[in-house]
Structure 1
Amino acid sequence: MTRYRKLPVEISAIQFTRDTFRAAVRFIPLDQFSEAGEDDQGLFLAIRTLEGVMRATEGDWIIQGVKGEYYPCKPDVFAATYEAVEEQDGQAVSTAGQPLVTRAVVYRELADLQDATAATEAIRRRRSNATVRRLLAIELRRMADNASRAAEGAGA
């Protein structure tokens, strides 16, 4: 079985609570909003998605995905998948202080790497996004491995 790592992306999100109820409802475009209120199961917000209507309950996060889609996410999954982003000197960084890698940064880095011939060639030829993503993922893993080895060497 092949293992995969999620590419770093930035999303917009709001946690659905009593205090953020109105803001969460306004966060979702009208064409994707289904209904909201409170029933015997508690506070809820229904969102039209490509998979059908999905129900967010109090505490869930409402996410705007990279393609503009909206969907609910359970708090434990959200916490395991995302971290807050801040701006620092014009660059997006995680709240842990680590610079975030954007696609534009990756393209610039790949263009500068002499041994990234396959990736830069794919970009130049405008191959399918899936091909470019695969090549970028391979190159990102190689870059991360090199950075880890360099950090280990500097710590020794």
Structure 2
Amino acid sequence: MDNTTEFLYNLINPSDPYTFRAEDQETAALAVFCLGPAYGAENLSGTGSGDVPVLLFSDPKVWYQEQFGRTPDEGLEAKKPAVIRALKSFILGNERDRKRYEAAMACIREPERREVFVREWRDGRTSMNNIGLRAEKMAEALEKQREDQEEKGASS
């Protein structure tokens, strides 16, 4: 999915600013839930998709069920590839910073140099809380889970 069909979100958090992309509000909610209940998301793209409230003092499962008519576990199973993409899209910085980041990444072709650039960009955070790295690790765990399920299904 290209960036023009995804919504841009600001991660609501007490730490450094982060933005991410998601195909819809449900995907944004699932990506935020992967990080924990202390986070929310503000849709920066205008209409078409809603925000995700910070649910630290309420039950995220109840809010999710009311919004999407299924449990977060059911949603994650149905939308796992989209959630993985959303988690991989977390970038340190605000909307303006993201434009600079994406422009730089578009110019870097070699995978090793891209990794160095991403690592250096992440080092710009002021908090010990590395949300971008945590989102990346969660995406990797979900990918591994998906691969294991596919492998198990193929061997049955």
Shared fold (TM-score greater than 0.5)?
A: no
Q: Which protein shows a greater Rg?
A: 1
Higher strand share: 1
